[in-house]
Each structure stands twice: as structure tokens, then as C-alpha cells.
Amino acid sequence: MSSARERFLAYRKSLPRPPRLERHVARVRGLELAVYTTPAVPGALPLLCVNGGLIFDHVLLWPALSPLSARRQLVFFDQRGRGKSQAPPGVRAARVEHDAGDVRAVREALGLARWDVLGHSWGGGIAMLGVAGDQEATRRLVLVDAVGPTGDWMSRLLPDALDRLARRAPVIGADAHARLARFGDAELTSPDPEIQLAWSRAVHPAWFADAELGMTFTPPRSESRTGAAVAARLRREGYDWRDSIRALHVPTLVIHGEQDLLPVRVAEALVDVLPDARLMLVPDAGHMPFWEAPERFFPLVERFLAADVPPSP
């Protein structure tokens, strides 16, 4: 029987070569943001894809989501101060709400009247908040292993990750657990980008359902002071978005890996708050179902986006 890593590699090899991304510079709320698009697909709404990670740029989702580009144009953007996008003034004051406010501004800068939106992990939070302020222009919303409506889950993330890596020591070695054990509240709430990058890399193997596959991937290098400030603020202050997203009436699909480090109850809490949301669990998958269970993940997204949605009254 093939391993999860072998199945992943076989799936990727079965795909055609991803299209080349075209890079644009969009003037968005006083900043120049890097925006990337795949070729347009006539008759299909574009799909904005919002990456998570807080300190990282669009490469977290590209070419991971490239199978979706066969039927629709994909749009990515480097959030302010990440990747090739300009950093805002007063970086230490950066907030995730500023990133969410850029969602509508990116659409308008591209001259798009309507689109669908997909957000992964923390990008799911940015997508929810952004779409809540731009509902008329959003047909459908997909949330992939998104953060919850409140920050309650954050207090359990480190101990749960340590426990998972400890149990996987025979496969991944004790070093992975030791690297993560160095972190505490002081490190997680630090706006130092080197510390936030070290945390992301240390916790990364714990996000996967399969230990071997989790060791295959390493987050890219990031020196984003903006992203580190946003991450530190969220972990220091927490958040509660329920009032903002309770008014979000866009049809929403919540996809969640059954073995994600973010427990299923986080996804259930989202469905309880969002007025028009349904939950689909992906077996044998953790935080990245597009890598761990692509044969299940991509049909779920495609079927949801292909369905007709009655026009808004």
C-alpha cells in the first residue's frame, strides 16, 4: 500500500503543468500590492484565493490550488507588507482587519464586478471579514480549515501540537518536538519576524494528518515585519469576529480536515455563526487537504462553485 507522500507525488505528477501567473501592481488604499492571476476563463467568475500564515505571501497556495485554474481564473495577492507588496506606515500598528479591508479594494483595482472567494487558515479569517464588507460582489465563499469565529482555540494550539509531535517521535525524531518546546507566550506574542518564522517552521509538521508527509514541506522564508506584528497582536489580544460575520449571508462552504490540529469544533463554531454555511469534513486530512486529500478536496470545491446561486434581492 502506498504512503501518503507517494500518493501526493503521484497526484501532482498526474496534473498538467500549472499556468504561469501574471503579476500586477494594484494601487490599494494608498499602498502598492502585488496581485497575481492565472489566465481568464470565459463565462466563469474569478476566484480570489487568500493565503494564511499571516507572515507569508501567496506562494502558500500556489501551485497548491492550481487544479482549480482549469475552470476559472484564480486571483492571489500578497497581503500588505508580505512578499512583493508594500508595507504600510507604522508597521507595528498593523491589524488583520487592515488585510481584510484590502479584499474589496483588490477587486475594485482589478475592475471585477463579482467573484468567488476562498480563504485558507488565517486567510479564512481575512476572507470572512473582507467578504462581510463586500457581500454584493461575492457570489460564494469557501473556507478551508479556517480559524474560528473567536480566538479561543489559540490557547490549546501549542500544547496540542507538542503532544502530536511527541507521539510521532518514532517517525520524525525527537528534534521536532524539542524545536517546538522552546516556544512560550513570550515568543508567540513577539513581533520579531525571525521568531514568528521559527514558530511557523517548528509547528508545521503538526498540521498534517500523516507524519511523513508533514516532514516533506517547509514554510518559505519570510522577513515580514508587518505579518509578524499582525500575528503577535492576534496572539496577544485574541479576537472575536462573531458580530462581523453573523451578518455574512453569502453561501459558504466550510471544508475541514478531520485530523487538523485545529479541532473540528472550530469549524462547527463557524457554521453555527455564519447564516448560510455548511460543513464538509475531509477524512485522513489535516490542515492542508489540498495536499493530503486532493482527490476529495478539489471535487468538493468545484461542485460548490459550479452550483447556481439565486441572485440577491
Cα–Cα distance between 119 and 13 in angstroms, integer? 25
pLDDT at 312: 41
pLDDT in tens, 110-135: 999 999 999 999 999 999 999 999 99
pTM above 0.85? yes
List, in order, residues 6 or more apart from 236 with CB less than 8 Å away.
189
pLDDT of residue 305: 97
Q: State residue 3's pLDDT score.
A: 86
- Among 89-93, 142-146, 215-219, which range has the highest average pLDDT? 142-146
Mean pLDDT, to the nearest integer, of 61-77? 97
Write down the mean pLDDT value for the chain. 95
What pLDDT is attached to residue 1? 62
- Position 132 scores a pLDDT of 97
Residues 6+ apart with CB under 8 A from 168: 176, 205, 211
Q: How far is CA 201 from CA 55, 125, 215, 242, in A?
A: 12, 21, 10, 30
In the structure, what pLDDT confidence band is assigned to residue 311 with cuts at 50, 70 and 90? very low
Q: What is the mean predicted confidence (pLDDT) over 29-43?
A: 97
Domains of the chain by start residue, with CATH: 18-151+236-306 (3.40.50.1820), 154-229 (no CATH)
Q: How high is the pLDDT of residue 113?
A: 97
Confidence of residue 241 (pLDDT cuts 50, 70, 90): very high
DSSP for 82-151, written as a single string: STTSPPPSSGGG--HHHHHHHHHHHHHHHT-S-EEEEEETHHHHHHHHHHHT-GGGEEEEEEES---SBG
Longest dimension (CA), the chain: 58
**Cα 237 from Cα 172, distance rounded (Å):** 33
User: What per-residue confidence (pLDDT) applies to 229?
Assistant: 98
What is the predicted pLDDT for the residue at 140? 98
The predicted structure's pLDDT at residue 308:
65
Q: 309 pLDDT exceeds 80?
A: no
Amino acid letter, residue 99: D
For range 137-162, the mean pLDDT: 98
- Given a cut of 70, whether residue 252 has pLDDT beyond it is yes
- Mean pLDDT over 225-231 rounds to 98
CA 151 to mean position of chain CA atoms: 16
Closest C-alpha among 127, 142, 145, 146 to residue 302: 142
Q: Annotate 79-99 with b (16+ C-beta within 10 A) or e (fewer).
A: bbbbbebbbbeebeebebbbb
Question: In this predicted structure, what is the pLDDT of residue 157?
Answer: 97
pLDDT of residue 136: 97
Mean pLDDT of the 73-78 span: 98
What is the Cα–Cα distance from 84 to 204, expressed in whole angstroms?
A: 23
Give pLDDT tens digits for 253-272. 999 999 999 999 999 999 99
What average pLDDT does this structure show over 278-290? 97
pLDDT score of 219 more than 70: yes
Express each pLDDT in 168-201 by its tens digit: 999 899 999 999 999 999 999 999 999 999 999 9
pLDDT at 106 over 50: yes
Across 5-9, 33-37, 77-81, 139-143, least confident range:
5-9
Compute CA 25 distance to the chain's CA centroid, rounded to the nearest angstrom: 22
Which residues are paired to 26 by β-bridges?
Answer: 33
